[in-house]
Amino acid sequence: MERPRILVIGGGFAGLECARRLERKLAATEAQISLVAPFSYQLYLPLLPHVAAGVLTPQSVAVSLRRSLRRTDVIPGGAIGIDPRAKVAIIRKITDQEIVEPYDYLVLAPGSVTRTFDIPGLTDHARGMKTLAEATYIRDHVIAQLDLASTTLDQNERAERLQFVVVGGGYAGTETAACLQRLTTAALDRYPRLDPRLIKWHLIDIAPKLMPELGDHLGARALKVLRERGVEVSLGVSVKAVDEHAVTFTDGRVIPSRTLIWTAGVAASPLISTLDAETVRGRIAVTAEMRVPQFEGVFALGDAAAVPDLAKGDGAVCPPTAQHSARQGKKVADNLVAALRNQPLQPYYHKDLGLVVDLGGKDAVSKPVGVEMTGVPAQLVARGYHLMAMRTNVAKFRVGCNWLINATAGDDFVRTGFLARQPARLRDFEYTDAYLTKEQVREHAQALQAKH
């Protein structure tokens, strides 16, 4: 008898946790497990600001899928369309070869992409912080601005290169601004020709508060830390337009700048739009058991799914966080096992364990299990949480060693240069234009099946 085929789309927190738990709970004879991922690692997203700032090396936050998984087939590519009626996924491999992958059970965990708006120049000039390549590029770019500003005689060019704008007052934006501001401050000793007063970091957000999820006290504490370091934080403000030389704010200010880092939220992977399924604000609607009700054997979770938040109630859905994604991955695996064994499925219910925000150095704000903390204790909690959450001991060891080396030896402010002179638009890093339309999926799948 042929084993049921379980296909997991996505190797992030949700997809990897699901596949790991399936391996533990199912015998090899019970199911064939495959996971589709464009890269051979799970990206530990919360530490990307540390990569951008050079505190961690890129490899440190790239948790090996093949070290984490033992008998799951890892397909190197990305799903560009799903035909749930024919029970096939269209996969584009990293060689650009397209194949059709059949399944009996499908787990949709494709994650999210950077959310953008119809702002003139945004998609051409903004840089994201969603991928490892983007974080590495931003580090190179920021150091390049210091290199170029220190040698130019053009005062306007120097002003443009030494002002940096980060959009988004959530965790990603706040940590990015905090860590990169520390990078440029520490680098000043290596650039004696630069006037420290010319280096300016701007953090803006349309919301009236910084990181409102932390509560008024901790949010105000984080705001105070940033402003004391010289970061200009503007709330109730967004971007009106951006070009190669300046960023225009909605309050009328024009900031001479060649660096716009965009972290203003996320949107579900475009893969979701290839299915003819109900959505909630762009995320696929699922039951509390994370089933997609329109299609048999299809589950969805993580950033791409509107999973009901039973802990909050009142129709709330779980926010797109790593904490929820990892725990949803485990619950979906449990429900898949139950489905295979004709047992009842269980709803996802999770009480938030708290929040941690690493502002670099000795600065942090944390709220583990509702206890508010600041300074060094909060930093220890934040870094301890990240080490605990990483999926392999090798990754934990690398991150811990990197933190120690950076704290004792500092940074050499080296540009790797491997992305120099390459397009650095959001779509270049996140492949948002790679997907089929839902009208194309059925025809495309049939053509591929006939071909092969």
Query: Which CATH number goes with the domain that contains 208?
Result: 3.50.50.100
86 is a domain residue: yes
pLDDT tens per residue, range 155-168: 999 999 999 999 99
Query: Which CATH number goes with the domain that contains 295?
Result: 3.50.50.60
Pair 146, 76 in one domain: no
Pair 21, 83 in one domain: yes
252 is a domain residue: yes
Tell me the three state secondary structure of residue 206.
coil
Exposure on the CB side of residue 313, measured as CA atoms within 13 A = 0
* Confidence (pLDDT) at 213: 85
Pair 321, 443 in one domain: yes
Pair 210, 166 in one domain: yes
Pair 129, 236 in one domain: yes
DSSP secondary structure string, 243-299? -SSEEEETTS-EEE-SEEEE-S-EEE-GGGGGS---EETTEEE--TT-B-TTSTTEE
421 is a domain residue: no
Please state the pTM of the whole predicted model: 0.94
425 is a domain residue: no
Pair 271, 151 in one domain: no
* Confidence (pLDDT) at 162: 98
197 is a domain residue: yes
Residues of the chain with pLDDT under 70: 1, 452
* Number of residues that make up the chain: 452
Give the residue numbers spanning the domain of 328. Answer: 5-114+267-352+430-447
156 is a domain residue: yes
Pair 55, 31 in one domain: yes
Q: Please count the structural domains in the chain.
A: 2
452 is a domain residue: no
Tell me the three state secondary structure of residue 94.
coil
Pair 41, 15 in one domain: yes
- In 3D space, the residue among 235, 230, 202 whose CA is nearest the CA of residue 219 turns out to be 235
Pair 129, 248 in one domain: yes
Pair 256, 132 in one domain: yes
Pair 249, 273 in one domain: no
* Confidence (pLDDT) at 1: 64
CA 412 – CA 99 distance, rounded (Å): 44
424 is a domain residue: no
Pair 195, 341 in one domain: no
